[in-house]
Amino acid sequence: MSRQQLSLGVEAARKLAGTTKTEPRNRGVSPRWLLRVLPWEEAPGGVYRVNRRRTHTAPDGRVGCTTVDGTPRVIPATLTEVPLLRGLSDTDALRELAGAFAPREIEPGQVLTEPEFVLVVHGKLRRTRPGTYGESSELGRLADGDHHGADHLLTGEAPPEVLTALTHCTVLTLSRQAFQGVRARSRGLREHLAEHAARARLPRNRRGEADIGVSAGHHDETGLPGAFADYDPAPREYPLSVAQTVLRVHTRVDDLYNDPMNQFRQQLRLTVEALRERQERELVTNAGFGLLATADRDQRLHTRGGPPAPDDLDELLARRRKTRAILAHPKAIAAFDRECGHRGLHAETAELHGRAVRTWRGVPLLPCDKIPVSARGATSMLALRTGLADAGVIGLHQTGLPAEHEPGLNLRRMSTGSRAITEYLVSAYYSVAVLVPDALGVLTCVQVGR
């Protein structure tokens, strides 16, 4: 026996009632902490020039390697990343030097003490020297792409530092005898080394900058030294980069389906979110101006073990003043929490931009999923001092653009074609500049898999 219906049914009622809807959600949106913590400066001409004092010390970079028939080989052009060979234009000499490197396998615990140039292909080594009271004083670590001992090729003296393998290592070594043989055959290399020796005699401060002569502690009419602050003759310039896309909206959708939500605005909102995500990725990983690529080699540290430990972050913070933030992949932050737990430590929390974040020594640990994690589970952590007044890291953009939608981002209507589709060009202009090298530090070879 069927039951008599006493009121209007739900299905029938829904015919006259609208649904409660949310805005379209985007799974690819992240907090974008880098864009939040960077102070943004204007680049009205589209290019930002960073002027510094002149330096007499060549920057130190990473030497590239490749594998030929299972044997590691040096990429000749990348040898100019070594300060001793910076500016060497003799390609034949570079090719001959690259061919003089000999591969070598080193087991954990093995020690290197010979006066030779060592290039690390894979693995990690510890640099130590005898301390004041007979103990070993640790100076740092070397890992993939790092090198050591270039100056010993000229002097031939036994190095005061000792390299000890922490893991199984593959290295390439260049003996002084092989280097001197290439030097004897290459006129270009001999002339370059003579210029290098002349630059080494120029007065400089501990940072390698051209020295400003100052006299102090005198009581009589001692002649005072003349001085001036020399400038870098070729300062680094940062042109604004661009991320663009073409947003397409059918006129019928834009005309008829805008209640209760405007379709064009929702399409534009999601598109801008994607552009901002790409912008942050470029600020981190771009090969030309990204933070990972432009960090100074002296500001790159390696972990003592594998995962990031409190000691590693302490050393990273000690390299600079006023560190404002540490950016790390969420997996790296989780690995750091595990290391703290093993030591009975606890990372405190603080509020930043209305959100609770972890801190270490009062410095926020901010997640950034744009920092890559390699297939071997290795990543990096970035320590930043920010701001123009503190000679830190700054973001670059230009406001007041034609058809500006957000600061540094504009929206231009292009056309409506025969298919009734309207196209809009959405463009974001940006870059990032490191004003002095110690404003940015990188903790590399951070293991997150164990």
Evaluate whether 299 touches 319 at the Cβ level (below 8 Å). Answer: yes
Given this model, what pLDDT does residue 56 score? Answer: 64
Quick check: helix, strand or coil at residue 138? strand
Amino acid 242 reads V
Amino acid 321 reads R
According to DSSP, residue 204 is labeled: B
Evaluate whether 63 touches 82 at the Cβ level (below 8 Å). Answer: yes
Question: For residues 179, 185, 190 and 192, what is the CA-based torsion angle, rounded to 10 degrees?
Answer: -80
Q: 136 Cβ partners below 8 Å, 6+ apart? A: 128, 129, 130, 162
Ramachandran angles phi, psi of 362, nearest 5°: 80, 0
Report how far apart, in Å, the C-alpha atoms of 326 and of each of 333, 371, 384 are. Answer: 10, 12, 6
Given this model, what pLDDT does residue 305 score? Answer: 82
Q: What is the spatial distance between Cα 142 and Cα 300, in angstroms, rounded to a whole number?
A: 10
CA-closest candidate to residue 310, choices 284, 337, 274, 282: 337
Evaluate whether 75 touches 66 at the Cβ level (below 8 Å). Answer: yes
Q: What is the spatial distance between Cα 146 and Cα 123, in angstroms, rounded to a whole number?
A: 10
Q: What is the spatial distance between Cα 22 and Cα 135, in angstroms, rounded to a whole number?
A: 65
Q: What is the spatial distance between Cα 195 and Cα 249, in angstroms, rounded to a whole number?
A: 62
Evaluate whether 120 touches 146 at the Cβ level (below 8 Å). Answer: yes
pTM for the model stands at 0.82
For the chain, which residues score pLDDT lower than 50? none
CA-closest candidate to residue 189, choices 83, 64, 92: 92
Residue with tokens 């030294």: 225
- String of b and e for 330-357 (b: at least 16 CB within 10 Å)? ebbbebbbebbeeeeeebeeeeeeeeeb
Q: What is the spatial distance between Cα 307 and Cα 319, in angstroms, rounded to a whole number?
A: 20
- Strand ordering across the sheet containing 117-122: 102-106, 169-174, 117-122, 147-148
Q: Where are the beta strands (DSSP E) in 47-204?
A: 47-50, 65-68, 71-74, 102-106, 111-112, 117-122, 125-130, 136-142, 147-148, 162-165, 169-174
Q: What is the spatial distance between Cα 41 and Cα 430, in angstroms, rounded to a whole number?
A: 10
Given this model, what pLDDT does residue 385 score? Answer: 96
Evaluate whether 38 touches 386 at the Cβ level (below 8 Å). Answer: yes
Residue with tokens 């059918």: 250
